[in-house]
Structure 1
Amino acid sequence: MKNIILLLGLAFMQPNVGDHRVDVWKTMTIAPNESITINKVKAPVTLEIKNLSEENIALVSELKIPSEISGKSEFKYRLPKKSTLKLENRKAFPVSIYLHYYSSQPIIVNNKELR
């Protein structure tokens, strides 16, 4: 009887195995004339980027998105699989962003896995 209950419990847990989500909140600073690059994503990613500074941050991508994030504003976008995004600070002083992303896979930012 215990074996049947154990097997039934495992059978009901099985559909939830692939539902793992990566959900990350991170505050980052972009140095003057530097950039943050989100490398090709393995799965679609929902991004929310808040520009915490007064200055604009340039967005570089092959996608049809705005060319910059204005000071003290927010950018929300669903980044498709195999796409990249680059955030450039073209100013002479550092800017800060608040990055929130969620996906089924971690993303690579500046050649490091962000979890």
Structure 2
Amino acid sequence: MSGRTAVIALVLSALALSYAYPVRTYLEQRADINELRDSQATQADRIAELEAERAKWEDPEYVRAQARERLLLVKPGEQLIIIIDDPEGAAADAGQTPDPGPQDTWYEDLWEGFKDSQ
């Protein structure tokens, strides 16, 4: 290898090392920009959803429907009927008793398991 080739190789390696850090910084910044754009798009979608929700609440019929559903409010002269989905309570109201199930305590079950294992 001649002296001229060695100098050119040394200059090229110095240039490569001097450009490595700025290129790395540039790539990191591009990744940050892309991440922020994605975050901004997500926030724009959320803002659109909230604007649509706000538009719903400006409609008086929607407000009335929500008051009826959430607060159980009724108009004057209407009757409020609440249906509770409770099968045991319905059986008791019908004069039937629900099946009580097993009455053994935990230690009786443990003792039976111990006796069965012998």
Fold equivalence (TM over 0.5): no
The structure that is helix-richer by fraction is 2
Which has the greater radius of gyration? 2
Give the TM-score normalised by structure 1: 0.23
Give the TM-score normalised by structure 2: 0.23
The structure that is strand-richer by fraction is 1
Whose RCO is larger (CA < 8 A, sep 6+)?
Answer: 1
